[in-house]
Chain A
Amino acid sequence: MIKILDARKGDELFLLGNEAAARAAIESGVTVASTYPGTPSSEIGDVLSRIASKAGLYFEFSTNEKVAVEVAAAAAASGVRSFTFMKHVGLNVASDSLVSIAYTGVEAGMVILSADDPSMFSSQNEQDNRHYARFANIPLLEPSNPQEILDFTKYAFNLSEKFKIPVLVRTTTRVSHMRSRVKVGEIKKMRKKGQFKKNPKRFVLVPSTAKTMHKELIKKTEKISKIVNKSPYNQHHKTHGGYGIITSGGAFNYTHDIINEKKLPISILKLGFTYPFPDKVVLRFIEDLEKVFIIEEVDPIIEKDVLSIIGRENLEVDVHGKLDGTFPRIYEYNQDIIEASIRKQIPLKIKRKEPLKAHLPERPPTFCPGCPHRAVYYSINKALEELEMDVIFSTDIGCYTLGIESPYNTADYLLSMGSSIGAACGFSKATRQKIVSFIGDSTFFHAGIPPLLNAIHNKHNFLIVILDNRTTAMTGGQPHPGLPFDGMGGEAPAIPIENIIEALDVKFKVINPMNIKKSIKAFKEALKMDSLNVVIARYPCQLSLKAKGKPVKVDNDLCNECLECINKLACPAIIYENGIKVNQKYCRGCAVCIQICPEKAIRPKRGSSR
């Protein structure tokens, strides 16, 4: 981590794309940085969180992405550089302000990095955030590797400052999580504090001012259109007939590999600065071609711009992309997909191996041994079983979404951050079914409070279970407003969730989910209530706990193999291998299995101490 800050100009580091983005912020003299953690962008914040104090910049984990983008916008409006970054769906949350920031513009450089997730490794959708550049009318850069993340982001700050417009940098999972050689540059000295110069005609968007500022925005875009055609990030050699490929971002890497490995006679135009669209560069590239392939992840965005150039210029070039079915419209690409797609249009001699068609057991991700979410789901399922009650589980975004898997089956509906409570409001009026919302602590702060107010005020009736594991777990353990420290490691006032609930006059109970008997009892009581009520299940994420509990073992003489521990609790540390056993390598000693064993065959290991 420190290496990222201490490296000198010319040093070569082996950096993750996200680490390169953090270095770019330092090299660009960023004064204020903000984010809400989200894969695949999270490591940018993790790095800045550790080095911010030493680097002298201000960094925060904001409560959500909308707040993060507003923090950054005000900083840039005050004349200091700001950097905000988030996962693709986070930009949806921020978009209300993003579109306005394009209108007001900025005084110092402001860069927004959106890390998209083609193939949805850790997301609810694979939306293509390049649309946001067009939607908000702001410039867009698409790096392909960590070195480009560093270089393009630094360039984005200069561009932003020159034209007083926020700039979007779009990465994808494979680019953010690519590690490779990065030659670092000089660290730019930052301005410690800015000065906001009042100008309500620009910074207060009401109909009359917005009309002026939209006109200003279009003028800026037109000026940038000229630069984009001369950008070194959009260079190519002149083609003379034959086949060509236009590509960008991560898709370029696979294209490069296929073309070079197979030595295919196809020219490549790699676009790095893609909005405003570099139409002159593209026109020069395609005008003499017979066929052009457009290779991009995920939506046909460049493709549509190429088609519009062809229409306007009346060219006779075949365009093969997603719209004509040559390339898939979904998921990330790889060399195999690109090769197979190109083959549909050009006969290539390629031998193909038959893939292995063996049926293998799948290995979906699950809760860690010792995870409090497992205990919560076990207990609530027991409570429901005892009450003979069937409920809709309206869940939310976090590790606990893994409740979708058997044997828990505690996820029935999920849209986005905070939707557990908002959707429960709808279910409670539209159906006679009982509803349980699950929401994590960080997600509650992020987007759970407005729907909670809605639920109270509009007299909705359901149970909210707040899974308070004292961290933002899924993304690697970042802090949130409920914790007594901030994103730079300094002390901070913690906001107890129960204080919020209590102030709203809602019935609630705080439980320790690792106590199974008491949890089942609390859930039964809560489920029987005929009004909105809250259970806060509080126990820290086991990844944040340094010490293990006492080791446990199975007394196989007492065990009658009822399989409650395997089939209902499903802890990966409990295995069946000629009888039930506890795998000491994985067991965290959380003692939940001891409590649920009907035969009392699981016990603390004798003579063991902490």
Chain B
Amino acid sequence: MKLSYDIYICGVGGQGIIKAGEIIGWAAMKEGMDVVMSEIHGMAQRGGVVSTDVRIGQAKGTIIPSGHADLMMAFEPLEALRAIDKIRKDAHLIVNLTPIPPFNINAGEYPPVDEIIEKLRRFSGNVYAFDADRVALEAGHPLSTNMAILGAATAMPDFPLSQDAIIESMKANLPSKLFKVNLKAFNRGFMSLEG
């Protein structure tokens, strides 16, 4: 029996991954659910792989075991593929289509994004890929990519928190100055999958 609803959020340092996790976790706590999450700080943040595990339920360990994630929020296509062992069968995968090639590889070494998405589909029938960077830009701020992806996650059928609970958490955990732009990105992300 699974102890928790597990959300694996991954991407590259600086994409606002931890903040997205914190918003989900805080909302879960406010809804009276038990929740643990992991954060990565320090050297790994400098443009390296960053991930956050959010576990809503009875689990105590902050690491999502392999084959457990019910939902993956991948801020970067290559990082979705790197973490694919984390997901359970037919988990929901939200994948941002904008790639960030690692600095140390030569041109052409980065696998084509459509090939990555194709591979991901072999692991789950529920892959939702969209250009969250573009959605964020259209919403008014390139740094609201994380909220666009959060919006998409909230639209998932088995997502354990309501849209209202997440928005409430965004209000409490984001700078008020940027809330409007972030909400716009969130709503566009939500619609991009609903529609």
Contacts and interface: CB of A to CB of B under 8 A. Distances in A.
A339 B65 CA distance: 10
Given A353-B85, A368-B46, A336 B66 contact: yes
Contact of B43 (A39, A181, A585): A39
B41 A361 contact: no
Contacts of B101: 361, 575
Interface in A494-520: none
A239 interface: no
Given A181-B29, A261-B3, A364-B104, 15 more contacts: A14-B22, A174-B61, A177-B38, A179-B25, A256-B61, A335-B63, A336-B66, A353-B67, A361-B105, A363-B12, A363-B78, A363-B102, A475-B42, A476-B41, A572-B47
Contacts of B62: 174, 177-178, 253
A135 interface: no
Given A121-B43, A180-B35, A252-B60, A355 B66 contact: yes
B41 A253 contact: no
27 contacts: A14-B35, A39-B41, A39-B42, A122-B41, A122-B44, A179-B37, A257-B61, A260-B3, A334-B65, A355-B66, A356-B84, A356-B123, A358-B119, A361-B101, A362-B102, A363-B12, A363-B49, A365-B47, A366-B103, A399-B43, A402-B43, A405-B104, A474-B43, A570-B103, A572-B47, A575-B101, A577-B107
A485 interface: no
A364 B107 contact: no
A42 interface: yes
A237 interface: no
B119 to A, nearest CB: 7
A145 interface: yes
Nearest to B88: A353
Given A179-B39, A180-B36, A254-B63, A260 B44 contact: no
A289 B106 CA distance: 58
A360 B104 contact: no
B42 A263 contact: no
B169 to A, nearest CB: 9
B48 interface: yes
A335 B41 CA distance: 22
B38 A360 contact: no
Nearest to A358: B81
A402 B46 contact: yes
A12 interface: yes
The 9 A-B pairs with the shortest beta carbon distances in the complex, nearest first, are A39-B42, A122-B42, A365-B48, A576-B107, A253-B61, A365-B46, A253-B60, A335-B65, A363-B102
Contacts of A594: none
Nearest to A146: B36
Interface string B1-25: 1110000000011000000011001
B82 interface: yes
Contacts of B60: 144-145, 252-254, 256-257
Interface in A324-370: 334-336, 339, 353, 355-356, 358, 360-368
Overall SS of chain A's interface: loop
A334 B61 CA distance: 8
B109 interface: yes
Interface in B140-165: 142
A181 B38 contact: no
Contacts of B67: 353
A562 to B, nearest CB: 14
Contacts of A401: 43
A319 interface: no
A29 interface: no
Contact of A261 (B1, B47, B102): B1
Contact of B142 (A16, A180, A585): A585
Given A355-B66, A355-B85, A570 B40 contact: no
**Max chain A C-beta neighbours (<10 A), residue from B13, B63, B109:** B63
B1 A360 contact: no
A570 B105 CA distance: 10
A364 B48 CA distance: 5
B88 to A, nearest CB: 9
B49 A177 contact: no
A566 B101 CA distance: 12
Contacts of A402: 43, 46
B129 interface: no
Contacts of A405: 104
B176 interface: no
A179 B36 contact: yes
A107 interface: no
B43 A335 contact: no
A161 interface: no
Contacts of A577: 107
A177 B42 CA distance: 11
Contact of B102 (A353, A364, A571): A364
Nearest to B2: A261
**Max chain B C-beta neighbours (<10 A), residue from A252, A358, A406:** A358
A475 B42 CA distance: 6
B59 interface: yes
A365 B13 CA distance: 8
B84 A361 contact: no
Contact of B39 (A177, A336, A339): A177
A402 B29 CA distance: 38
A119 B84 CA distance: 21
Contact of A121 (B42, B79, B142): B42
A360 B46 contact: no
A154 B71 CA distance: 37
A370 B107 CA distance: 22
B21 to A, nearest CB: 8
A181 B2 CA distance: 21
Contacts of A60: none
B71 to A, nearest CB: 18
A276 interface: no
Contacts of A261: 1-3
**Max chain B C-beta neighbours (<10 A), residue from A16, A178, A257, A355:** A257
Nearest to A574: B103
A544 to B, nearest CB: 14
Nearest to B103: A572
B80 to A, nearest CB: 11
Nearest to B83: A356
